[in-house]
């Protein structure tokens, strides 16, 4: 440990708790896109790849390490082409359809509602089902909810039983549409708001089941979209017998270039690296912007904000189907994830849900598969290291002095990102050194409570482009971080270049 001046100097008041960080901000997403659902999760019962009822065992076991809180399905853009009845009943009788959004391939519907719910049970995760508003009917939405959640002998409950499932499932998270401004119908905000109100009305609570209805929302910083949705929700007024919506969402992706040329996942310059970090950190501004619009209509924060698609989006790996969105995943991706987590913790009051896109083989994945082989990505490890923040109490990191801002095209990008929370008698501090070219000494004054000895873990490599491959699956993996100490309540750590670290401190 050197005694160089700290890059980050900050204070955390351990006796001033912030809001709860919903575990659901660590949610995931599985779309019928490329090799995510098929090959990634579903290999079929006759596969040589070990599976439980067609769902691959290695993927389930790896994801169980993350305690994933929820899984969004079936899309994405696919959700607005999906008619759920195509995916129930005997598999050999299910219709084949064209997946026109993603690769224009034929979808055989072998993975449908029952298979998704079986997957959620194996993962021990909450299902987040997205209804088709773009090309589906209100009746379809109503029927799907009845099929999933109704216990008596109503028609859809009877149909579910005929398909082999006696008991209704318990489902809370229920999406109304996806990207309605684009692939979800190219609708205007006011048009979508009307449609969403209609679908939400008929997405009923059956028996004891209580839905959390999530209206699809804006792209990036389109606050006007959020404003229209909030107006339309507010205008429902008190005459309404129940609240139609519990959350509204938005999407935000990170890349280094433009939508046309987003950059490579593993071959990038320092300028592209910093451009990526500037973009990722922009999530803070955008979370604040949507929250401010919502605050004006809902000062008590009854309605949650959901960032139900986020993550890095690179040019596809050379030689792969452009419609399959398969990309590698480097240390840089893990750092993009960790700065998002810090922003999520800071916005815990309003942000109740977030879903990284996507879990296996698509965009910023946790896992990559190649036939029977599977590897964990650096992003997987960032999620694993952050699991202690699930449902923890946020501890704001304040009075931050960051002495090493990096100038990215006129924007001062901080070189360190941090957040903290407390749960189960311990404090968890997350620290990211974004600088790929120099270490960062961090000093945090932990006030109000005494803490015991720190245990620190770090995810780093010599190069932010370092990544895991099927031949070298552990090139980027967590290891203990030495030299972290607490003296008189002051935590000091030296982070290697391009590193994500977590420090766990028991409360004395």
Least distance in angstroms from the C-beta of 503 to ligand AHR = 33
The helix-helix angle for 270-297 and 223-234 (nearest 10°) equals 20
Catalytic annotation, residues: 179, 309
Instruction: Report the chain's C-alpha Rg in angstroms.
Output: 23
Least distance in angstroms from the C-beta of 353 to ligand AHR = 15
Q: In terms of DSSP bridges, do strands 440-447 and 490-495 run parallel, antiparallel, or are they unpaired?
A: antiparallel
DSSP character for 385? H
Is residue 107 part of the contact set for ligand AHR (CB under 6 A)? no
Residues 249-308 that bind ligand AHR (CB under 6 A): none
Is residue 75 part of the contact set for ligand AHR (CB under 6 A)? yes
Ranked by CB distance to ligand AHR, the top (closest) residue is 76
Among 45-53, 72-80, 139-147, 288-296, which window interacts with ligand AHR (CB under 6 A)?
A: 72-80
Name which of 256 and 357 has its Cβ closer to ligand AHR: 357
Q: 411, 386 in Cβ contact below 8 A? A: no
Q: Is residue 143 classed as helix, strand or coil in its secondary structure?
A: helix
Among 270-278, 355-363, 465-473, 499-507, which window interacts with ligand AHR (CB under 6 A)?
A: 355-363
How far lies 261's CA from each of 175, 199, 255, 309, 502, in Å? Answer: 30, 37, 9, 20, 34
- Which one of residues 12, 36, 37, 77 is an interface residue with ligand AHR (CB under 6 A)? 77
Among 73-81, 291-299, 337-345, 434-442, which window interacts with ligand AHR (CB under 6 A)?
A: 73-81
| Cα 389 from Cα 351, distance rounded (Å) | 14
C-alpha distance across the termini of the chain, in Å = 25
Is residue 402 part of the contact set for ligand AHR (CB under 6 A)? no
Name which of 113 and 327 has its Cβ closer to ligand AHR: 327
Per-residue binder mask for ligand AHR (CB under 6 A), 2-41, x = binder? -----------------------------x----------
Identify the helix (H) or strand (E) that includes residue 305.
strand 304-312
Instruction: Give the strand order in the sheet containing 126-131.
Output: 28-29, 70-73, 126-131, 173-176, 212-219, 247-254, 304-312, 351-356
Least distance in angstroms from the C-beta of 324 to ligand AHR = 11
Least distance in angstroms from the C-beta of 179 to ligand AHR = 5
Q: 36, 75 in Cβ contact below 8 A? A: no
Q: 445, 488 in Cβ contact below 8 A? A: no
Provide the total of helices (H) and of strands (E) in the chain, helices listed first: 9, 27
Residues 365-394 that bind ligand AHR (CB under 6 A): none
Name which of 358 and 379 has its Cβ closer to ligand AHR: 358
Name which of 38 and 169 has its Cβ closer to ligand AHR: 38
- Which one of residues 337, 343, 348, 357 is an interface residue with ligand AHR (CB under 6 A)? 357
Least distance in angstroms from the C-beta of 337 to ligand AHR = 15
Q: 24, 308 in Cβ contact below 8 A? A: no
Identify the helix (H) or strand (E) that includes residue 311.
strand 304-312
- Which one of residues 143, 309, 333, 494 is an interface residue with ligand AHR (CB under 6 A)? 309
Is residue 76 part of the contact set for ligand AHR (CB under 6 A)? yes
Per-residue binder mask for ligand AHR (CB under 6 A), 157-196, x = binder? ---------------------xx-----------------
Measured in degrees and rounded to the nearest 5, phi and psi for residue 28 equal: -130, 175
- Length in residues, the chain: 508
Q: Which residues bind ligand AHR (CB under 6 A)?
A: 31, 75-77, 178-179, 309, 357-358, 363
């Amino acid at each position: 440990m050197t005694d160089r001046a700290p890059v980050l100097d900050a204070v955390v008041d351990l006796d001033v708790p912030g809001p709860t960080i919903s575990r659901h901000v660590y949610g995931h997403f599985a779309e019928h896109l490329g090799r995510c659902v098929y090959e990634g999760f579903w290999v079929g019962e006759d596969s040589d790849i070990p599976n439980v009822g067609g769902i691959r065992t290695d993927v389930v076991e790896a994801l169980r390490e993350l305690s994933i809180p929820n899984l969004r399905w079936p899309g994405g853009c696919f959700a607005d082409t999906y008619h759920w009845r195509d995916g129930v009943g005997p598999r050999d009788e299910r219709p084949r359809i064209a997946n026109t959004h993603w690769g224009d391939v034929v979808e055989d519907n072998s993975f449908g509602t029952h298979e998704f719910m079986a997957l959620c049970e194996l993962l021990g995760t909450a299902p987040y089902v997205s209804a088709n508003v773009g090309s589906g009917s209100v009746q379809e939405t109503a029927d799907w909810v009845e099929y999933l959640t109704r216990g008596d002998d109503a028609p859809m409950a009877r149909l579910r039983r005929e398909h082999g499932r006696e008991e209704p499932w318990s489902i809370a998270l229920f999406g109304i549409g996806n990207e309605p401004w684009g692939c979800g119908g190219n609708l205007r905000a006011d048009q979508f708001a009307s449609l969403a109100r209609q679908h939400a009305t008929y997405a009923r609570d059956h028996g004891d089941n209580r839905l959390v209805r999530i209206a699809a929302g804006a792209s990036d910083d389109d606050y006007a979209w959020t404003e229209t949705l909030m107006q339309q929700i507010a205008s429902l007024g008190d005459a309404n017998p129940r609240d139609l919506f519990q959350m509204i969402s938005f999407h935000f992706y990170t890349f280094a270039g433009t939508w046309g040329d987003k950059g490579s996942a593993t071959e990038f310059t320092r300028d592209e690296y910093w451009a990526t970090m500037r973009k990722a950190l922009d999530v803070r501004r955008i979370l604040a912007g949507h929250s401010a619009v919502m605050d004006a209509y809902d000062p008590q924060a009854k309605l949650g904000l959901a960032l139900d698609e986020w993550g890095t989006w690179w040019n596809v790996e050379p030689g792969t189907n452009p419609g399959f969105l398969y990309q590698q995943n480097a240390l840089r991706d893990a750092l993009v994830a960790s700065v998002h987590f810090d922003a999520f913790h800071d916005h815990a009051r309003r942000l109740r849900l977030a879903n990284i896109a996507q879990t296996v083989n698509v965009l910023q994945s946790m896992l990559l598969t190649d036939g029977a082989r599977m590897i964990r990505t650096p992003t997987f490890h960032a999620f694993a290291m952050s699991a202690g923040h699930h449902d923890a109490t946020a501890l704001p990191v304040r009075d931050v002095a960051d002495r090493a801002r990096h100038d990215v095209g006129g924007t001062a990008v901080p070189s360190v990102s941090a957040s903290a929370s407390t749960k189960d008698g311990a404090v968890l501090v997350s620290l990211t050194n974004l600088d790929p070219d120099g270490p960062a000494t961090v000093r945090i004054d932990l006030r109000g409570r005494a803490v015991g000895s720190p245990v620190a873990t770090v995810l780093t490599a010599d190069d932010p482009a370092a990544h895991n491959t099927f031949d070298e699956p552990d090139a980027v993996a967590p290891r203990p971080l030495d030299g972290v100490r607490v003296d008189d309540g002051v935590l000091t750590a030296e982070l290697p270049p391009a590193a994500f670290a977590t420090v766990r401190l028991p409360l004395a």
